Amino acid sequence: MKKIICPVCGAEYTFQEIFIPSNFMGNITNVNRDNNGKIIDYIGKDMDLKESYRCDYCDCKFNVTASIDFICKSPVVDFKKEHKTKLNRPQLKFKED
């Protein structure tokens, strides 16, 4: 679990205690794309990654900025590149009399 820590007293908070989920994720309702799938424009509210909060323990006001990354990987194999498959060969054991 990632924690948000007060910079003054070190009190720990969860993401859900600081950010309002509906504002954080935004609310995009209509996305217009070109023929290649690139986003041209959208209707709605984008994500709100900044929030300010007053610490419950030391009453210090601090700002929190979330950083979100999306990692996309394709399971498709590039057949132009050399590919080797490792085989698990069974080990044969013979019982000697």
Task: Report the pLDDT value the prediction gives residue 51, as an integer from 0 to 100.
Answer: 93
pLDDT in tens, 43-96: 999 989 999 999 999 999 999 999 988 888 877 767 777 767 777 766 767 777
Q: Residues 12-33: what's their mean pLDDT?
A: 89
Confirm whether 81 is domain-assigned: no
Is-contact 49 24, C-beta < 8 A? yes
Task: Report the pLDDT value the prediction gives residue 54, as an integer from 0 to 100.
Answer: 96
| Residue ranges making up the domain that contains 9 | 4-65
Q: What is the DSSP string of 72-90?
A: -------TTS-------PP
Task: Report the pLDDT value the prediction gives residue 25, as an integer from 0 to 100.
Answer: 85
DSSP code for 25: H
Confirm whether 91 is domain-assigned: no
DSSP code for 57: T
Tokens of residue 61, six digits: 């006001």
Q: Is 52 exposed, middle or buried (0-12, 13-18, 19+ CB in 10 A)?
A: exposed
Domain count along the chain: 1
Confirm whether 20 is domain-assigned: yes
pLDDT in tens, 29-44: 899 999 999 999 999 9
> Tokens 């950010």 belong to which residue?
19
Task: Report the pLDDT value the prediction gives residue 97, as an integer from 0 to 100.
Answer: 60
DSSP 3-state of 8: coil
Confirm whether 92 is domain-assigned: no
Confirm whether 75 is domain-assigned: no
Confirm whether 87 is domain-assigned: no
